[in-house]
Amino acid sequence: MLKAVLKVKPSPKEILEERGELAVQAEEVLRQNDMGGWTRAAPGLYPHQWSWDSAFIAIGLAHLDVRRAARELRTLFAHQWRTGKVPHIVFNPKTPPKSYYPGAEHWACAAASPDAPPAPPYTSCLTQPPVHAIAASRIWEAAGRESEEGLSSTRDFLHGIYPRLFAWHRYLLTYRDPEESGLVTIYHPWGSGTDNSPRWDAALAAVEVGELPPYPRYDLQHVTDSSQRPTNGYYDRYLWLVKLIKEAGCDERTIYRSHPFLVKDVLSSAILVAANEALLKIAEVIGAPDEDRELIAGWAERGRRGLDACWDADLKLCLDYDLRADKPLRVRTVAGFAPLIAGGQDPDRVEALLGVLDSPVFAEHPGSRWSLPPSTSPEELRFHPRSYWRGPTWPVINWLLWWSLLRAGNVERAERLRRVSLEPLASGGFGEYFDPYTGEPLGSTSQSWTAAVALDWLVG
């Protein structure tokens, strides 16, 4: 009898079953991409473990199996560098040759750094936005809906991952912020996770590219037309920057001194603020020392101040800052909503941001199929509806905005965003990104993080 009463609240898995076909398909995508302990970002285009992809994947997996979700993060953090850096790619040694470029061979020199973890597997020496503490706290929330056993294994997981998350955030706030601005510096557009966004165009244009050997574009085999991927001109610049980073021995201080591309990234910085809030919650669960908690709270505060300094009152958006040119990078992209993602803003700032989000500059553009923000505003000259981060709408970005609206207490707006965010997936499957005008799925198919956020939305 007691059991029957306790059973009234359905488990997340039961809720998923009720949500039908889309949830079943999302679960299937994650299962197919599961490599045993970690998940490839996509079957063809991205056959390795990517850092921020894994964090989003863990958020989705938490609804299927909290232990497997925890393992996703543990596997990634097993390749953390001595400095605390979490590499943007951990290369799968079993990937067939000619499947991804630049692959493990290209980054093998990173393993020579005294700070690198033992190889193989090899890792890159770049980073991606720090979604991981957010993922760990979501796993904890999901475990709260589970059995006592799931809860206790997740508590053990938090004890194990906490020092690693702490070291990761400390790395970002020291090596990547020697100015103590609260803002994360990146030295490669891949470090932003938004590779070919026009956010980086002006800073990249100033990079003088020298002689490069010919290189393959395996990525183009996986898309129906090459306009969906960055052009060769961008790839030349990406590979030139990698060459310079390798010549600097992947040494952070040398890179900071001499590298031609050095930018304060507001999206990564905002995610770090939210991740620090999540880390504070984890610190509480595991009973971390007070000094840690004071430090983490200070990091979050410093991050908010840094973002404040990047606010553009005309555009009503936050702007990245080019440290080499010593000026803001003035272009309207979804990264501009950084303060919303950081959270803890005053109501006027939130209202200003939502005004831009819900205007023709973004989600209400008259040509758009759905009320979803394109990655770059269609009013920008450099907008392109099919090209990677230059216009398509991205489910993971929509997830970040949705989650931020919930945290800001704007439940009704969040719910609208959740519902409409599921529409491209219901009509086009688990694409990597979507043409905002036609809704066509673009980039990779069966993209793991798209499936993962879908699961989270369906449970929500």
Q: Look at residue 383 and give its three-state secondary structure.
A: coil
Question: Cβ closer to ligand DGY: 45 or 300?
Answer: 45
> Which residues does residue 34 pair with via DSSP β-bridges, in sequence order?
39
Could you give the CA distance from residue 151 to residue 375 in angstroms, rounded to a whole number? 37
In the complex, least distance from residue 154 CB atom to ligand DGY, rounded to whole angstroms: 30
Does 17 participate in catalysis according to the annotation? no
Residues in the interface with ligand DGY (CB under 6 A) total: 3
Q: Which of 432, 435, 440, 456 is catalytic?
A: 432
DSSP state of 118: P
Residue nearest to ligand DGY (CB): 190
Estimate the crossing angle of helix 66-77 against helix 132-143, to 10 degrees.
160
Question: Cβ closer to ligand DGY: 105 or 351?
Answer: 105
In the complex, least distance from residue 399 CB atom to ligand DGY, rounded to whole angstroms: 18
Could you give the CA distance from residue 389 to residue 193 in angstroms, rounded to a whole number? 9
Does 195 participate in catalysis according to the annotation? yes
> Quick check: 195 binds ligand DGY (CB under 6 A)?
yes
DSSP state of 176: T
Question: Cβ closer to ligand DGY: 53 or 456?
Answer: 53
For 428-442, give the DSSP string: H-S-SEE-TTT--EE
Question: Cβ closer to ligand DGY: 88 or 145?
Answer: 88
In the complex, least distance from residue 50 CB atom to ligand DGY, rounded to whole angstroms: 6
Contact 188, 242 (CB under 8 A): yes
In the complex, least distance from residue 228 CB atom to ligand DGY, rounded to whole angstroms: 11
Q: Which of 195, 252, 320, 456 is catalytic?
A: 195
Radius of gyration in angstroms for the set of CA atoms belonging to the chain, rounded to a whole number: 21
Tell which positions 80-109 bind ligand DGY, by CB under 6 A: 88
In the complex, least distance from residue 195 CB atom to ligand DGY, rounded to whole angstroms: 5
Question: Cβ closer to ligand DGY: 196 or 368?
Answer: 196
What strands, in cross-sheet order, belong to the sheet with 320-322?
184-186, 263-265, 320-322, 327-329
Could you give the CA distance from residue 92 to residue 43 in angstroms, rounded to a whole number? 12
> Quick check: 187 binds ligand DGY (CB under 6 A)?
no
**How many residues can be counted in the chain?**
460
> Which residues does residue 312 pair with via DSSP β-bridges, in sequence order?
317
Kindly tell me which residue out of 190, 240, 261, 383 binds ligand DGY, with binding defined by CB under 6 A. Answer: 190
Q: Which residues bind ligand DGY (CB under 6 A)?
A: 88, 190, 195
Active site residues: 195, 432
